[in-house]
């Protein structure tokens, strides 16, 4: 099978590396990189490195296009063009998938080709594949996970060393784990894309980034917070989770207090963990590399092999109109703030002070996140975390 | 697709339950249980509950046979008969698969049908599927895991409560987790079957239970051992593992000391965990229910759906003649024994006594297991565990 790779960044390079270095005994050896789409100044005289996308689209020998450009445009248009030219498309681009899932899936159907995006969520972990597989039998009742390796690295290092957020963030940037502008990782935007894609598949519905989805990151966490919670037997993790009740589902991204000794607490460094709960399978969790050149490229190549083997993709029409409802998702939160006004703001939930932290019980996620939005206007350094207890 | 279930025990009942209760929107709804093979006294006038296996074999409407009888015979013969009658076979029977893997796979090939056995290892965890999937691209360098839920339950409860092995074993038997004769679970025989099957697939080679494979179970563990290791920051887990070096591989089943806070240490109750390490994917771990009616039946139904979708099975010829070599697998072991002779027995490795335990460093797994065999003849209560450090 001939493939064209759009973009020769980290993941694109990894895909070429795996395909071209494939052991002849493996299925990966059946793939061939016929074109790589690059910027005009990187194109060469051979047709292999080219900046002429029309040539790729009109080449009947190209069976599949791998989109690893990242970002919204031109990725969105180029994916649609490829599908309309009856090319299968595999992408690792979470932002564009989260935003245009329905359009891509429908266009692929209309053109009788496959659209696959395993690498867009949790990197090398076969999360989408196993989620779809579980759905062949079960309804998904809930899922949750550590979907961002950079923030997990920061929290893990803070927990292990006692160092400050700023010094560990700096270290993560030096290691190449975090961007110069780290907001996508530490404010939950990266997780939001991954959770939207997971939700679309898990519940056969459509949720888009920005659809008023509550997220609270780890930007304001301090070494003292890690230490305070540790003394109570908790480990802080940034968790995305969703629970379904009939036609309603909750969806929240927030720091959670996981019991020391729990599987979530054990996820170290920049690893990811994703777990689902199904009717008959019960709890099923997956741990692995959520990013990195080879693990992510591995997931892309797996998609290509599924295309090649004509393995069926789970049919999703996104027709279920589930209601987002974070009002019924109640729990216990801990808040650190220097703002004297917090007691007044949160008085409906009778916050109780313990060693400089407020414990707020029986509050729903929506109200808690709304409250924190108000609080951050007064105290930009405020932090909150939720007791796990009922992670799923 | 019409299926015949051989045996209506726990798993067989679970398969019927999932298939017959399937949501019409799921793929599982495409399956139909046309026959259930039962003992003559349980057969009824309908053809559905029957003790006439020939009738099933000669019924062209039966597409697949689910073997959940357990044990070696008649399971072995009935599987072969089904394959020879061009029926796909799905089994959850680890003992028969570990022993006759090659014969089943070859007979299935000869008759152009599928032979699948996902449920035979780690119950509901899609371990075989994901192992095969990884192998489409990667070589497997190593794998390890907690493959037996009963022994994990016992160790977890001993760790959490401080109670004795005997009292927790009794509790496991009362809960139905452990058999009246618990040896398969606590002496490593159950894990041996699962590890042989995993090895066959991972390395495309054949390893059979009893092939001089070192295994040391948890029969002799005492509350004081759990406590002693806990004080040093370790949690005891019964781990099966294998590491490949070129044409050699190690293979050991033994109690391991996992660091508190590690993912292995976090696996609670009767859950299983299986982890592989591949060239490009790196470490990839799976956590879930390793037994139980519905999770195991879920795995069986997944196999049936793969048969139905004509999803390709990874082609294994078992042609690699890898050498078992536990001599190069060196590590540090801790031994508890009341036998004064131990120091003499182990003198080549200079054991050092700490608080009533002997620490033996830089000893290979084969020598250590051989040593324990000798020691158990003198001190039937002796216990040993290996420091993880290099679990994979």
Sorting pLDDT into bands at 50, 70 and 90, what band is A345?
very high
Contact B32, B1 (CB under 8 A): yes
Instruction: Please tell me the predicted confidence (pLDDT) of residue A179.
Output: 86
Neighbour-count burial for B249-281, b at 16+ CB within 10 Å, e otherwise? bbbbbbbbbbbbbbbbbbbbebbbbbbbbbbbb
- CATH number assigned to the domain with residue range B141-289+326-387, chosen from the 4 options 3.40.440.10, 3.30.360.10, 3.90.1150.10, 1.10.3720.10: 3.30.360.10
What pLDDT was estimated at residue A311?
86
Whether residue B391 is predicted with pLDDT greater than 70 in this model: the reply is no
* B291: closest CA of chain A, how far (Å): 10
Task: Give the model's pLDDT for residue A391.
Answer: 41
Mean pLDDT of chain A: 95
- Architecture field, domain B2-116: 3-Layer(aba) Sandwich (3.40)
pLDDT by residue (tens digit) across A145-202?
999 999 999 999 999 999 999 999 999 999 988 888 999 999 999 999 999 999 999 9
A194 is catalytic: yes
* Of residues B22, B137, B292, nearest to A302 (C-beta): B137
What pLDDT sits at residue B392? Answer: 39
pLDDT, one tens digit per residue, over A73-119 is 999 999 999 999 999 999 999 999 999 999 999 999 999 999 999 99
Which range (A282-291, A315-324, B30-39, B344-353) has the least confidence? A315-324
Count CB atoms within 10 A of the CB of residue A58. Answer: 10
Packed helices A127-135 and B127-135: angle between N→C axes, nearest 10 degrees:
140
pLDDT by residue (tens digit) across B309-345?
Answer: 988 888 888 887 788 899 989 999 999 999 999 999 9
Under CATH, to which class is A128-289+330-387 assigned?
A: alpha beta
Q: pLDDT tens digits for A209-250?
A: 987 789 999 999 999 999 999 999 999 999 999 999 889 999
pLDDT, position B101: 97
The answer to whether A138 contacts B298, with C-beta atoms less than 8 Å apart, is yes
| pLDDT of res. B177 | 86
Give the residue from chain B lying closest to A31, CA to CA: B137
| Annotated domain spans of chain B | 2-116, 141-289+326-387
> Do A125 and B284 count as a contact with CB atoms less than 8 A apart?
yes
Q: Is residue A216 helix, strand or coil? A: coil
Looking at beta carbons, which residues of chain A come within 8 Å of B282? 124, 288-289, 292, 294-295
Q: Pairing relation of β-strands B49-50 and B32-37? A: parallel
What interface predicted TM-score (ipTM) does this complex get?
0.96
Average pLDDT for A27-46: 91
Predicted local confidence at residue A366, as pLDDT? 95
| In the predicted structure, residue A69 carries a pLDDT above the cut 50 | yes
The count of residues in chain A is: 392
Per-residue model confidence (pLDDT) at position B312: 81
Crossing angle (nearest 10°) for helices B165-174 and B149-161:
130
């Amino acid at each position: 099978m001939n493939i064209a790779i759009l973009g020769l960044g980290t993941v694109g390079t990894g895909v070429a590396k795996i395909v071209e270095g494939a052991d002849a005994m493996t299925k990966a050896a059946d793939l061939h990189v016929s074109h790589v789409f690059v910027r005009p100044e990187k194109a060469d005289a051979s047709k292999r490195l080219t900046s002429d996308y029309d040539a790729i689209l009109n080449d009947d020998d190209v069976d599949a296009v791998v989109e690893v450009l990242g970002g919204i445009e031109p990725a969105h248009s180029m994916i649609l063009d490829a599908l309309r030219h009856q090319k299968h498309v595999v992408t690792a681009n979470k932002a564009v998938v989260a935003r245009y899932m329905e359009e891509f899936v429908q266009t692929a159907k209309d053109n009788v080709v496959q659209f696959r995006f395993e690498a867009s969520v949790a990197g090398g972990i076969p999360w989408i594949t196993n989620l779809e597989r579980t759905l062949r039998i079960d309804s998904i009742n809930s899922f949750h996970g550590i979907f961002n390796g950079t923030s997990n690295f920061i929290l893990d290092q803070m927990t292990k060393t006692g160092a400050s957020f700023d010094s560990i963030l700096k270290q993560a940037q030096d290691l190449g784990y975090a961007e110069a502008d780290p907001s996508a990782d530490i404010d939950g935007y990266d997780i939001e894309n991954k959770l939207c894609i997971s939700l679309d598949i898990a519940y056969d519905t459509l949720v888009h980034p920005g659809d008023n989805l509550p997220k609270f990151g780890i930007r304001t966490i301090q070494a003292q917070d890690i230490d305070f919670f540790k003394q109570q037997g908790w480990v802080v993790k940034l968790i995305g989770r969703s629970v379904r009740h009939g036609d309603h589902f909750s969806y929240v991204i927030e720091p959670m207090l996981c019991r020391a000794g729990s599987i979530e607490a054990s996820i170290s460094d920049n690893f990811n963990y994703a777990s689902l709960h199904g009717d008959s399978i019960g709890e099923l969790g997956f741990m692995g590399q959520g990013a990195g050149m080879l693990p992510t490229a591995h997931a892309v190549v797996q998609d290509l092999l599924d295309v090649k083997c004509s393995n069926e993709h789970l049919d999703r029409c996104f027709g279920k109109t589930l209601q987002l409802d974070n009002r019924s998702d109640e729990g216990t939160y801990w808040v650190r703030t220097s703002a004297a006004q917090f007691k007044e703001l949160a008085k409906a939930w009778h916050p109780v002070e313990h060693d400089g932290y407020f414990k707020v019980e029986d509050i729903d996620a929506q109200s808690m996140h709304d409250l924190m939005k108000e609080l951050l206007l007064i105290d930009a350094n405020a932090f909150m975390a939720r007791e796990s207890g009922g992670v799923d």
